[in-house]
Chains A and B, each alone.
Chain A
Amino acid sequence: MTRRNLHRQTFWLSAAGAFILLLSLWLVSPAGAEPPAQETEKYCLSCHGNPDLSITLPNGEELSLYIPQDALDHSVHSAKGIECEACHNDITEYPHPELKYQSARELSRAYYQTCEKCHSLNYEKALDSMHAKAAEAGNLDAPICTDCHGAHDVRPPDEPRSMISETCRQCHTEIVDAYRQSVHGAALMVEENPDVPVCTDCHGVHNIQDPRTAQFRVAEPELCAGCHANEELMSKYGLSADVYSIYKHSWHGVDISVYKAKWPTIWHDSAVCSDCHGIHDIRSTDDPQSRVNPNNLLATCQQCHPDAGPNWTDAWTGHNEISLERTPALFYVERFYVLFAPFVLWVCVIYVVLQIVRATVDRVRRNLP
């Protein structure tokens, strides 16, 4: 065997070995239920695990570069083997390239864009949101993915459910505080009630729209009806599920439905749910602080009907079916017309039909020989 042959044999042996090794990697990796190796995480944390590690940005901000191991341990990404360089994709070596960001915010706004790689649908939705519009208008503090979901410690956003309103509260403090006092918010805070709406149930999740528009206003009754017309859900709390259907036939409701159908972008003052019940501070009607509590109802009506007197509140039939006890005048008028209208119709029709028959018979008889 020549020296050259020996070389060739060694080459093929090592090639086969490498092939088998690669093959085994390919075969093993999808089947392996073991958490994947977090090599870069460990490697990066060898420096970034130091609590004192920080950098001074060009604008003078002191940016901590410390990433606690604990944060990564709780992240949904870490467990799936999504490592540092998945997001920090411009850093591939040490020493790192020069940081090109002027401020910490600029850095966040640059890195959050990597969310799109995996979460493209929600990322695009967020681009249509009120928040993205605020950013376009120049408010760089408008939230980006990481502001709500976190950067290194991304966790399921709704565990527990009250976490959602906690997240919104970071910026919308007063509103969430008012919400916590409401019948919905209290149930969420006290018992993590799964039925009450949290912020995102009404406002949407990623494509959150401006709730102050005419479109949002005319769509509001249907939004509330999502739960309040649900018989099963309402009976759990002893509430009527007819509130929406009765509202729809009321003066206010008909007005709003016409505007919704014809002119959704034109503002209309006819009352929608929140005008009387409140927006974030909705309370039970029994609550003395509720705007629709009988004691406060007149003041609520007077928001739009300033000259209304004390009898006025009875002009509002509430979200109630016609009944002798609550609305006697309406009850008797309805009873009267339920009988009178068909009576008039049938008497007229029968009388006229009889006349036509008799007149025709008379005419035929006269013409007979």
Chain B
Amino acid sequence: MSGKTKTPPQAVRHERTFPRFTVAQRWEHAVLLLSGLVLLLTGLPQKYRDLAISQDLLSTPDRVELIRQIHHIAAIVLMLEALYHFGRIVYLMAKRRLPGDLLPTWQDVRDAWHMLQYLLFLRSDKPKFGRYNFEQKVTYWFIFFGILIMGISGLVIWFPIQFTRFLPGGVVPAAKLAHSTEAVVIAIFIIVWHVYHVHVERMNLSMFTGRLSEEEMRTFHEKEYERLTGGSVTKARPGAKK
């Protein structure tokens, strides 16, 4: 046994990795992903109830009830997760330990403008990003407000009688329209925007592994890499000069 540990270290290439998401954050994402998926899959057949495919799925009145219950349970799970997330933000803010890397800044606007020029072949270099780039911030805030809209409108149409005790009745049909439209908007956003960025542009599994490789850090989060290592990586970046 001891003989094996003496093999020279050069035989195994050790890649340095950087922590990106804590275990708690990865669990949050997993709960969000699963509950959101369940909500979408049980919500769409209710929204498009007059389609034949929905009616095949909702093949008995009991199934309609079941699907509704699953939707409500998943909604409770997601609301608990949202409350935890929000509670943690407030807690960290109170202790003045909230990192704030996700807050939108003017640099994000400049980065987006830079990126647009690059995409239109007006510039040859990509913008250098910090810990979270503007695409990732857009994703976070889009889903942040999306969940807020879905949660409030969902509660209104789940308990319409209770809400109209203190709110005008008109909020019920408005909530119904907002709930069913926002759901589709979020679904389109995640499928087109988020799935492209984490699966097509590159396979970014840091939300599951919790870490980014040195290579990924240098390529996609150069400023953050420089901040952490205290050195420039411009030379090491492949394809930077073109």
A binding-site residues for B, Cβ under 8 Å: 251, 254, 257-259, 261-263, 266, 268, 305, 307-309, 311-317, 327-330, 332-334, 337, 340-341, 344-345, 348-349, 351-352, 354-359, 361-362, 365-366
Contact = CB atoms under 8 A, between A and B. Distances in A.
A312 B161 contact: yes
Contacts of A254: 49-50
Contacts of A365: 242
Secondary structure type dominating chain A contacts: helix
Contact of A257 (B50, B161, B164, B168): B50
Contacts of B200: 356
Contacts of B181: 333, 337, 341
B24 to A, nearest CB: 29
Contacts of B55: 258, 261-262
Contact of B178 (A317, A328, A337): A337
Interface in B146-180: 160-161, 164-165, 167-174, 176-178
26 contacts: A251-B176, A254-B50, A257-B49, A257-B50, A309-B161, A313-B169, A314-B169, A314-B170, A315-B160, A327-B173, A327-B174, A328-B170, A330-B170, A330-B177, A333-B178, A337-B177, A337-B181, A337-B185, A344-B188, A348-B193, A351-B119, A351-B193, A355-B196, A356-B200, A357-B119, A366-B242
Contacts of B201: 355, 359
Contacts of A329: 168, 170-171, 173-174
B41 interface: no
A181 to B, nearest CB: 30
A272 B164 CA distance: 23
A308 B185 CA distance: 32
Interface of B: 49-50, 55, 58-61, 64, 118-121, 160-161, 164-165, 167-174, 176-178, 181-182, 184-185, 188-189, 192-193, 196, 200-201, 239, 242
B61 A266 contact: yes
A365 B170 CA distance: 58
Given A258-B49, A266-B61, A348-B188, A311 B120 contact: no
A357 B120 CA distance: 9
Contacts of B188: 341, 344-345, 348
Given A309-B161, A314-B169, A355-B119, A348 B50 contact: no
A346 to B, nearest CB: 10
